[in-house]
Structure 1
Amino acid sequence: MINTLLTLDRRPKQVILVLIDALLLLLATVAAYSLRLESLFDPTRAHFIAFAVTIFASISCFALLGLYKAMVRFLSQRALSSVISGAIFSSLMLLMMTSVTDAFIPRSVPIIYFMMVIMLVGGFRIGLRSLIAIIMRYNAGKANNYERERVVIYGAGSAGHQLLTALQHQPLFEPVAFIDDNRAIQKTTISGLSVHPARNLSTLVEQHGVSRILLAISSASHARRAEILLFLEPFGLKVQTIPSFEDLVYRNHGIGELRDIEVEDLLGRDPVPGLSELVSMPITDRCVMVTGAGGSIGSELCRQIVKQGAKKLVLLDICEYALYKISHELTGMKAKLDSRIEVIPVLGSVQSAARLKSIVSSFGVQTLYHAAAYKHVPIVEQNMIEGVRNNVLGTYNAAEAALAAGVDSFVLVSTDKAVRPVNVMGASKRLAELVLQGMAKRDSQTKFSIVRFGNVLGSSGSVVPLFREQIRNGGPVTVTHRDVIRYFMTIPEAAGLVIQAGALGSELESGSLFLLDMGKPVNIAQFAMKMIRLMGHKVRGVDSAEGIEIVYTGLRPGEKLYEELLITEDSQQTRHPRILTVREPSLEWAEVQDLLRRVTRACDKFDCEAMTSLLRLAPLGYEPAGDCADLVWHQSLNTPTRPLSLPADTQSGAKVVKIA
């Protein structure tokens, strides 16, 4: 029968609610009199007239307050407030009509009647909402032939209550309890669920068969969240969290859209608040350009630039889809921030010097962040020439375009792999640093800065998305070596520090090199184990004989056991606590010019041997872990009919760099 009522149109449902409310109001009047007189009340004709008018007026008031527009299954606090307001009006109406009809009414009856209306009308709706939720969950479970998964919500604050409300209207999860560290609310009940201290979790798991923990602690710091995750890890329960505040506001995510734990929580380090003057100085009311705008760091730089109120933002990327995606996202951010920034998506490659000069000069770029690079170590190792051409000559092209257009500030995003490199990617980035430092010695108004940092958690190709995919597929999780350690930083933290380091560069001499404080290095194998456990699995061979296996595949070509950030120990603290400046060997511009000519020649001839020799002899500290791994080079060596160098006419057409 109830299922039939649920399928009715809106109008019949409203009529039924009106009739039920009329009966409840009549019951409330009779009950109020009976309670006061301590006997069953026998109304007179005058009472019936007063009651009828009161009920009609009260129903009209409920309608005006929107009580019949509210869907019972999504009944909110606002609807209950309407019930209270309607009950006040109804009580006053009863008092007035009994006076008009000269009907007998004790002074306490309106007060008792007010309480009865709230209990009956409000209580009926709350009970009906719960009944509908139970029926819908039962029907959904019956249709899909599964039982609801029992979960515990960690955090009994406002976020936890909102999450509980969202879960009550879906068929997948059945919340059985809250856990909260606040002693003041422990042993209390919120919306029917008891609040327990964390020490009771094992008991809750045993009693209720809990298999998942949902974190609703949006106000907790990352350090505190890391402590909670460390506590939860041994239980082998899947841990998920509600969306971040930024996702709720800027990306239209709902509080019930659960996701796996954030990388910031795994890292357990809270970002240091930015110095406002450093964040705004290179951006506010200026034309800013980001190369590699569709990449992990580039896209986050763009988001923070929009928030800082730039006048124009030029997005340059070679990938059409990545450019469309970040452009579309920034357009949505503009609307929510009521920003007037002009977002300009431009397709192009940093390997085209003419294209870069045209873009930078046409839009009057004042601040340029150069994040475009080939960064994946094994891919660049197997595509040496393209890696060097893009990372070295692309940087030179971008810097030359900045010089020609009189750009105020140019910031190169570098990597810790540039320190004593053992792979082509690191060597190319170290050479790009030397190119920029050499150009800084030329007479120009452009201030060049270099920002060097380690791995970024959550970026494309990083271990986090890879491990998640492998765990979801049942394993194995692949780790190169059990002793590999890496420095990690979150994407927003890295991008924010890049902006601030660039601002510090304008205060120091051109060509300054900045290092970001990456905190403590992380053991990748232990990190993988933590992810496996927090996604609800056990580590095979460590926790049990079954579960997700970790397979050690061996170091890849060009990979180190550990990374470094400093070539020398000559570093100094800046006025930002997470940014250091360092002095390292550099080259004169004439030496850089010679290197660039030789790099261009090796690229144009596709001569991997010459390129390897050049990188070894240049002052980069490059010590390759093995022989040249370029795939095309090796294939050409095995194909005698195929020339190793390009035809003369193709070579001339391929040249994009002219060394000044």
Structure 2
Amino acid sequence: MIIPTRFRTVLVFLFDLSAIIVAWLGAFLLRFNFEWPAGWERTIWMALLVLLPVQAVACRTAGLYRGMWIFASISDLKRVLKVVIASAVALLVFAFLVRNEAALPRSILLLYPLLLLLLMGGGRAAWRMWKEYRLYGRVSGRGAPVVVVGAGTAGAMLVRELSRSTEWHVVALVDDNPAKWGLELSGCRVAGGTDRLVEVLEEFEASRVILAIPSAKASDVQRIMDIATGAGAALFTVPGLSELMSGRVAINMMRPVNIEDLLGRETVRINNENIQAMIAGKPILVTGAGGSIGSELCRQLARFTPSSLILVDASEFALYTIEQWFSEHQPNIRIVPLAGDVKDAVRMEEIFEAWKPEVVFHAAAYKHVPLMEVGNAWQAVRNNVLGTLNVADCARRFGSKRFVLISTDKAVNPTNVMGATKRMAEMICEVLHCRGGNTCFQMVRFGNVLGSTGSVIPKFQAQIAKGGPITVTHPDITRYFMSIPEAAQLVLQAASMGQGGEVFVLDMGEPVRIADLARNMIRLSGYTEDEIRIEYSGLRPGEKLYEELLADSEETRQTPHEKLRIARSRSVPEGFYEESVAWMTKKGPVSDDEVRAQLKQWMPEYVPSRL
């Protein structure tokens, strides 16, 4: 039966008034050893005539009836305490006024507020306990046993939330703070440090571990994962601090630990005001808008309310996918999905003339190194360099304020055609900037992004799903990694602070050994290296053992943002622009060897790898 809210409030109000009577009479009974205090009747009833109205006013003023008893908490206890203090003060005033007629025993002045606090606070706590038992008690403890790592604030919140779960049952906690060992959180004991995790898992026959340390470093996550997976347990984690503080997720929304947690990329802090000024109310164009970086750029750009987002992509499916995402998640943003190939100068001119974008992000490119190395070198030049020229030239002629080229660390001391073409695209933009005009040309370099199309992580995931083996080209090969949202946000930050002609270099952190990445992914998938083997296939055409972010002849200078630096690259050779344009627009096929020879002529730092 559902009791109306107003009627429930009246019942609670009557309970609080009853608490006054019980506490007042109880104080006298305790004072006189549970014998009726003969001769005090008049004083008792006179005091009640004072205390009851004070209680009624105090309860109303303190907002005591706004809280729900089933969720009674510290805030409700504070309100109860205010009411008790008000009642105690009223009693003191009454005692002072009647001191000549019938002086109250001093113990009454202490016993009464204590009993009142016990009745009002205890009554609410008892009600919550009973209701929680009715709601959750019958299924409590039937979920899968789980050990929580971390007995801090997040751990305490998690244990409390999971006490109501039918899927999870916390049996113990571990924490590396010795001061917490042996203590309990919501009835669950802190069984020791993380070095005892294996023993605790065996003791409670648990096969799941939840890492309840939202600010844990990547090295700590790696260590806990090694211990948990070594014991055959699955490792989960709670949402990050930024997500919890924003209120987007709850502490009990666990997820399996993923490879991004082990790489330890910190949350990016960007200057929203500068980006807002650059984007808000303006038409923005993104080429390669359906790709990994392009689509994330579009999602990030939507936060800053452009007047329109012009989405250009040569892939119909990619364009359809990003268009559908905006229809579902950002229907208030005006998008213009346009099919177009950046190599098609006529189509690019048509788009720019119709929409006149103020800011252009050029993310369209061929990026797969081995694929571009054999049989596709000329297409890499046409797409990555001629495509850049077409879009950049349109931006300059149609008055775009900014043109931002998405480049790559493979443009530094390139050993492959893909990297050399991206460096050549940078050189094209540098020449256009030096020629003057109203368009600010900028370049942003970064390394591999986690989960991008064609990258190593989706490949490893597919190989694990098939039962292995995982193929790694070389035991010592390393790569820089960052998340797609991080890369997109830093591109926007660089674009907002550039003055023109800069090559921005993103802080990629420490390089990661691909073999270690593969091992971690095997463990996170619940397998051992005996079950999923790692095979070494040898370096592929054009592939480096390690990537660089700066060329030998380049220097960098700091920017106001700690994750962005500006590189000073080698000057562009005399006559490069005219010669390169003539070469790229020539008719007929061009062989891979001729492409390499021509790129080498303009870029002495380009050293083609042996095929």
SS in structure 2 opposite 1:449? strand
Structure 2 CA distance for partners of 1:389 and 1:31, relative to 1, 3 Å: farther
Q: Is the 8 A contact 2:404 2:495 kept in 1?
A: yes
5+ residue gaps in structure 1? 1-6, 333-342, 542-547, 627-660
Q: Is the 8 A contact 2:340 2:348 kept in 1?
A: yes
Which of 360, 363, 388 matches 1:368? 360
Alignment partner, residue 445 of structure 2: 452
Structure 2 CA distance for partners of 1:254 and 1:264, relative to 1, 3 Å: same
Specify the code of the residue in structure 1 equivalent to 2:234: K
Matches within 5 A, 1:111-190: 111-140=110-139, 147-157=143-153, 159-181=154-176, 188-190=183-185
Alignment partner, residue 523 of structure 1: 513
CA distance in 1, matches of 2:553, 2:580: 23
Q: Is the 8 A contact 1:479 1:551 kept in 2?
A: yes
State the 1:407 CA deviation. Answer: 3.0
SS in structure 1 opposite 2:197? helix
Alignment partner, residue 582 of structure 1: 569
Alignment partner, residue 639 of structure 1: none
Specify the code of the residue in structure 2 equivalent to 1:588: F
Specify the code of the residue in structure 1 equivalent to 2:75: R
Q: Is the 8 A contact 1:479 1:525 kept in 2?
A: no
Matches within 5 A, 1:54-65: 54=51, 58=55, 62=59
SS in structure 2 opposite 1:166? helix
State the 1:523 CA deviation. Answer: 1.8
Aligned length: 583
Q: Kindly provide the CA deviation profile for residues 245-281 of structure 1, in whole angstroms up to 9, marking residues without a partner as x.
A: 4434668223322233365531235578779999789
2:608 paired with 1:619 = no
Q: Is the 8 A contact 2:473 2:538 kept in 1?
A: yes
Q: Kindly provide the CA deviation profile for residues 601-633 of structure 1, in whole angstroms up to 9, marking residues without a partner as x.
A: 56xxxx7xx46466444316596987xxxxxxx
TM-score (norm 1): 0.71
Structure 2 CA distance for partners of 1:10 and 1:616, relative to 1, 3 Å: farther
Specify the code of the residue in structure 2 equivalent to 1:583: R
Alignment partner, residue 539 of structure 1: 528
Which of 394, 401, 411 matches 1:401? 394
CA distance in 2, matches of 1:326, 1:373: 23
State the 1:528 CA deviation. Answer: 2.9
SS in structure 1 opposite 2:585? helix
State the 1:570 CA deviation. Answer: 0.8
Q: Kindly provide the CA deviation profile for residues 362-393 of structure 1, in whole angstroms up to 9, marking residues without a partner as x.
A: 66644432223354568878995987665444
Matches within 5 A, 1:244-323: 244-248=240-244, 252-261=248-257, 265-268=261-264, 270=266, 289-293=285-289, 295-298=291-294, 300-301=296-297, 314-318=309-313, 319-323=319-323
Specify the code of the residue in structure 1 equivalent to 2:119: L
Alignment partner, residue 338 of structure 1: none
Q: CA RMSD in A?
A: 4.8
Q: Kindly provide the CA deviation profile for residues 149-190 of structure 1, in whole angstroms up to 9, marking residues without a partner as x.
A: 323142503x44433443333332233445445566666555
State the 1:412 CA deviation. Answer: 0.9
Structure 2 CA distance for partners of 1:183 and 1:517, relative to 1, 3 Å: same
Matches within 5 A, 1:373-388: 373-375=365-367
CA distance in 2, matches of 1:281, 1:197: 50
Alignment partner, residue 603 of structure 2: none
Specify the code of the residue in structure 2 equivalent to 1:371: A
Specify the code of the residue in structure 1 equivalent to 2:240: S
Structure 2 CA distance for partners of 1:100 and 1:466, relative to 1, 3 Å: farther
Q: Kindly provide the CA deviation profile for residues 132-158 of structure 1, in whole angstroms up to 9, marking residues without a partner as x.
A: 44554454579xxx534323142503x
Alignment partner, residue 23 of structure 2: 28
Alignment partner, residue 204 of structure 1: 200
CA distance in 1, matches of 2:496, 2:436: 20
Q: Is the 8 A contact 1:411 1:449 kept in 2?
A: yes
SS in structure 2 opposite 1:117? helix
CA distance in 1, matches of 2:591, 2:70: 69
Alignment partner, residue 79 of structure 1: 76
After the TM superposition, which of the residue ranges 230-239 and 91-100 deviates more from structure 2? 91-100
Alignment partner, residue 644 of structure 1: none
Q: Kindly provide the CA deviation profile for residues 11-65 of structure 1, in whole angstroms up to 9, marking residues without a partner as x.
A: 5866776676566554433433333334345687654686598568747865775
Specify the code of the residue in structure 2 equivalent to 1:592: S
Matches within 5 A, 1:366-515: 366-375=358-367, 390-418=383-411, 426=419, 429-430=422-423, 432-437=425-430, 439-440=432-433, 442=435, 444-464=437-457, 475-476=467-468, 478-481=470-473, 483=475, 484-499=477-492, 501-502=494-495, 506=499, 510=501, 512-515=502-505
Q: Is the 8 A contact 1:570 1:584 kept in 2?
A: no
State the 1:455 CA deviation. Answer: 0.5
5+ residue gaps in structure 2? 314-318, 601-605
CA distance in 1, matches of 2:88, 2:325: 58
SS in structure 2 opposite 1:171? coil
Specify the code of the residue in structure 1 equivalent to 2:165: Q
Structure 2 CA distance for partners of 1:250 and 1:422, relative to 1, 3 Å: farther
Structure 2 CA distance for partners of 1:482 and 1:119, relative to 1, 3 Å: farther
State the 1:574 CA deviation. Answer: 1.4
State the 1:410 CA deviation. Answer: 1.9
CA distance in 2, matches of 1:56, 1:379: 85
Alignment partner, residue 235 of structure 2: 239
Structure 2 CA distance for partners of 1:327 and 1:539, relative to 1, 3 Å: same
Structure 2 CA distance for partners of 1:73 and 1:176, relative to 1, 3 Å: farther
Structure 2 CA distance for partners of 1:490 and 1:148, relative to 1, 3 Å: same
Structure 2 CA distance for partners of 1:172 and 1:482, relative to 1, 3 Å: farther
What's the % identity of the aligned pairs? 32
CA distance in 2, matches of 1:96, 1:468: 75
CA distance in 2, matches of 1:313, 1:182: 53
Q: Is the 8 A contact 1:557 1:625 kept in 2?
A: no
Q: Is the 8 A contact 2:289 2:295 kept in 1?
A: yes
Matches within 5 A, 1:554-569: 554=537, 560=543, 562-565=545-548, 568-569=551-552
Structure 2 CA distance for partners of 1:367 and 1:246, relative to 1, 3 Å: farther
Structure 2 CA distance for partners of 1:582 and 1:424, relative to 1, 3 Å: closer
CA distance in 1, matches of 2:440, 2:398: 13
Specify the code of the residue in structure 1 equivalent to 2:85: I
After the TM superposition, which of the residue ranges 568-577 and 312-321 deviates more from structure 2? 312-321
Alignment partner, residue 655 of structure 1: none
Q: Is the 8 A contact 1:30 1:41 kept in 2?
A: no
State the 1:400 CA deviation. Answer: 1.6
Alignment partner, residue 213 of structure 2: 217
SS in structure 1 opposite 2:75? helix
Structure 2 CA distance for partners of 1:139 and 1:503, relative to 1, 3 Å: same
TM-score (norm 2): 0.76
CA distance in 2, matches of 1:251, 1:138: 28
Specify the code of the residue in structure 2 equivalent to 1:562: L
Specify the code of the residue in structure 2 equivalent to 1:526: D
